[in-house]
Amino acid sequence: MQAAITVRQLNMYVKSLLDANPKLSSVCVCGEIANFQNHFASGHLYFALKDDAAAIRSVMFRSSALRLKFTPQNGQKVICFGRVSLYEKDGQYQFYAENMLPFGEGELAADFERIKAALLKDGLFDEKRKRALPKFPKRVGVVTSSSGAAIHDITSVLNRRYPICTPICYPVNVQGAGASQDMVNALRKIYERENVDVIIIGRGGGSSYDLWAFNDEALARTIAQSPVPVISAVGHESDYSICDLVADVRAATPSVAAELAVPNMEELLKELKFKKHLLCSLLKTKMQVLENKLNAVKESAVFKDTNGVIINKREQLQLESVQRFKEGINSLLLKNETELREKILKLDSLSPLKVLSRGYSVVEKKNSVITSATELSVGDEIKITLNKGKINCSVISKEENDNGSRV
């Protein structure tokens, strides 16, 4: 006769079978909330998930419930993530919810995890494939909306920190139908031209629906194919997208992306001056140390004799060596100073302000620099930046010449 076991032992055994099943340890369940109870004393949530044909008793413990961004209600359709186990006390199996999202957001979350898993499997998130940003970029590609705050923030920071760098803007739709494909097309256009050193792609903050275009799998794979480093700046600091994970660098905001893309020109000039001063100081100190050693050797008894012949000859050689050393040091200092001055003059000559002071101007339409009249139409509002001041104008006519149109 088989030995009898207690009810508790039976329940514990069934529970161990459920807990050991990997398919039940991570389950995503879609259903409608029924019999919802918020146990205020403990903070636990008790409810049932049901559909047209079945129901399952469910619980969400306080630690998980505190992370919810909405208040569940009876009749609400949700997607729950959690595990299946058995409550030993009454022998009822139930669903232990660890996260819950309204049905619409739940679908997005499930798609996000699916895309993330596929890209992770292909190694697109691997840190080894991510590249360092260039130290001194000449051109920065900017893929974002032409009407949002992001384009203004990015171009303002670039012009302030590193005015010799040229931002090349590729205006795109950043939300809604076709936005992800619009960004894919812009990136491919950049890759074909190969005329930028680094790319910034992103937008300002918004809801999960507003930012969804940046979770597109095709867009992520296109970013991974970039021949130059890509900075992703989507939303605010707390927002994370698939683009952030696959890009070479993730920036908290578009402004931070611009700061990461270029160095600070003022700090570079200060660093050059400091290094020049430090080099001169080190060389002078070295010369003084060598001169002190030379004087000490000259006073040594081993170099002295009664007639002073040895010391005189040795002294002459020493003086000649010191003279050659001084001449070499002075020549090196002069060479370094000349090179430094040339680099400073070159940096100064490349400044847009120098160009403006010679009578040239910069024409912009909606924060984008205009380089050809073919980009304008009669009636367009434009802004012209002069050496001193800015003016707002309207295009009243265009003319043709051998090199294209002119306003």
Alpha helices in 143-264 (DSSP H): 149-161, 179-193, 217-224, 242-246, 254-261
127 phi/psi in degrees, rounded to 5: -65, -25
407 residues of the chain, pLDDT tens digit each = 678 889 999 999 999 999 999 889 888 898 999 999 998 888 999 999 999 899 999 999 999 999 887 889 898 888 899 999 999 888 999 999 998 888 766 667 777 888 888 898 999 999 999 999 999 999 999 999 988 889 999 999 999 999 999 999 999 999 887 899 999 999 999 999 878 999 999 998 877 777 888 999 999 999 999 999 999 999 776 668 899 999 999 998 999 999 999 999 888 888 888 998 899 889 889 988 888 888 887 777 666 554 555 556 667 777 888 788 888 888 888 888 888 888 877 777 776 766 777 777 888 888 788 888 888 888 888 888 887 888 889 888 877 665 555 55
Number of H helices, E strands in the chain: 12, 16
> In this predicted structure, what is the pLDDT of residue 111?
76
> In this predicted structure, what is the pLDDT of residue 170?
94
Q: What is the CA radius of gyration of the chain?
A: 35
Which of the 8 DSSP states describes residue 372?
S
Task: Count the residues in the chain.
Answer: 407
pLDDT tens digits, 19-71: 999 889 888 898 999 999 998 888 999 999 999 899 999 999 999 999 887 88
The answer to whether the Cα torsion of 299, 300, 301, 306 is positive or negative is negative
| Of residues 356, 150, 143, 127, the one with CA closest to residue 236 | 150
> In this predicted structure, what is the pLDDT of residue 239?
67
